[in-house]
Amino acid sequence: MKSDPLISVIIPCFNCQEFVDEAITSVLNQDYSNKEIIIVDDGSTDESEEIIKRYSENIKIIQQKNMGLSGARNSGINHARGEYIAFLDADDYWSQHFLSAMVEQAVQSKSKLIYCGWEHVGTYRQEPFVPPDYEDSDNKLELMIEAPRWPVHAAIVHKSIVDELGGFNESLNYCEDFNFWIRAATKNRISRVSKVLAYYRHHGDTQLSKSVLNMAFSHLNVQQTFLKEHQDIKKQLSRKQIRKITYGRLLNNAYKFYWKRELQYARPMFRKVMAHGYGSLSDWKYMLPSFLPLSWHLKLISGLGKSE
């Protein structure tokens, strides 16, 4: 009988002294034993190194100069021996059943990418979320290109896929996770564990607003680059579908900020959408004023407030 597959758990860490202990402990306490833990200290300048070294008997430690999140993950990948790889950022953590449930699903479904439900914890909490069963949906490609709805630590992926993709794109400052998952999920069978097993730590409102525009436009750029490089996939979608999952997604994000009156984010998104001729006449009613000076725009929407 084949033994349980070895799982390589990769934990990149940069100045995460407050949370890295909990992340490591959540992996050590897993009820699945056939695992290796690789932690990459990506040039930390706080007490992270000292905390990590307490676990040196149980984990493999890689210390390097700061290479960024993707570079740290790739360093871990280069040392991984497992059949499957799981990524856990140093400020997040898992349920103790995460690995056992994910491996069981991988074996049963013969899938090379398994994802699960997750929950925001920390200062910005949300209701737990379990993504849909994408593989059995009629529009898997469309949904994956729009955005796979799981964070990096709510999945395991076969090492062969990671090697084929060459790991994470280190040239990307934003959306490196999305770039990885969109390429992994569209060409491989994926399977879901319909339980919340991963916990994503949110660090407050500053994390919400930081680099909002860079994230939004980088997401669009990843989509466009992917479609350009994968014409075989692009041909399976209509022009209408492609525009909906690219510019339509950006428009929906713009509206979220518009209704919160955070026009510094909504206006550039609206202008990007208009530049590509997307949206209904009703949408353009809201988008066109984004060309006005900000003070005029604010006065206009305050006047329209009653009708909205």
Paired with 156 in beta bridges are: 86, 114
Q: How far is CA 132 from CA 103, 116, 194, 225, in A?
A: 19, 10, 8, 25
Last residue of a domain, one of 174, 203, 232: 203
pLDDT band at residue 302, thresholds of 50, 70 and 90?
confident
Cα angle 16, 20, 26; round to 5: 155
Range of the domain at 137: 7-203
Structure tokens at 39: 């932690």
Q: What are phi and psi of 304, to 5 degrees?
A: -85, -5
HSE of 220, CA atoms in CB hemisphere, 13 A: 20
Query: What are the tens digits of pLDDT across the range 114-145?
Result: 999 999 997 666 789 999 999 999 999 999 99
Q: How many other CB atoms are found less than 10 A from the CB of residue 136?
A: 9
Query: What are the tens digits of pLDDT across the range 28-70?
Result: 999 999 999 999 999 999 999 999 999 999 999 999 999 999 9
pLDDT band at residue 304, thresholds of 50, 70 and 90?
low
Letter string b/e over residues 181-206, b meaning 16 or more CB atoms within 10 A of that residue's CB = bbbbbbbbebbbbebbbbbbbeeeee
**Which one, of 27, 50, 302, lies nearest residue 156 by Cα?**
27
The answer on 107 and 18 residing in a single domain is yes
The answer on 264 and 138 residing in a single domain is no
The answer on 153 and 102 residing in a single domain is yes
Last residue of a domain, one of 203, 235, 251: 203
| Residue 36 in domain | yes
| Residue 1 in domain | no
| Residue 113 in domain | yes
- Mean pLDDT (whole number) for 79-96: 98
The answer on 136 and 104 residing in a single domain is yes
The answer on 177 and 250 residing in a single domain is no
The answer on 245 and 269 residing in a single domain is yes
Query: What are the tens digits of pLDDT across the range 204-243?
Result: 555 455 588 999 999 999 999 999 999 999 999 999 999 9
Residue 54, domain CATH: 3.90.550.10
| Residue 276 in domain | yes
The answer on 197 and 211 residing in a single domain is no
The answer on 71 and 162 residing in a single domain is yes
The pLDDT assigned to 141 comes to 97
Q: How far is CA 15 from CA 11, 66, 90, in A?
A: 13, 11, 9
| Residue 81 in domain | yes
The answer on 165 and 220 residing in a single domain is no
The answer on 220 and 191 residing in a single domain is no
Contact 122, 201 (CB under 8 A): yes
The answer on 258 and 169 residing in a single domain is no
| Residue 73 in domain | yes
Separation of alpha carbons 249 and 179, rounded Å: 16
Greatest Cα pair distance, the chain, in angstroms, is 72
The pLDDT assigned to 1 comes to 37
The number of folded domains in the chain is 2
| Residue 2 in domain | no
The answer on 25 and 145 residing in a single domain is yes
| Residue 266 in domain | yes
Query: What are the tens digits of pLDDT across the range 244-270?
Result: 999 999 999 999 999 999 999 999 999
Separation of alpha carbons 284 and 80, rounded Å: 51
DSSP-H helix ranges across 3-83? 20-28, 48-53, 68-79
pLDDT band at residue 4, thresholds of 50, 70 and 90?
confident
Separation of alpha carbons 168 and 82, rounded Å: 17
Last residue of a domain, one of 168, 203, 238: 203
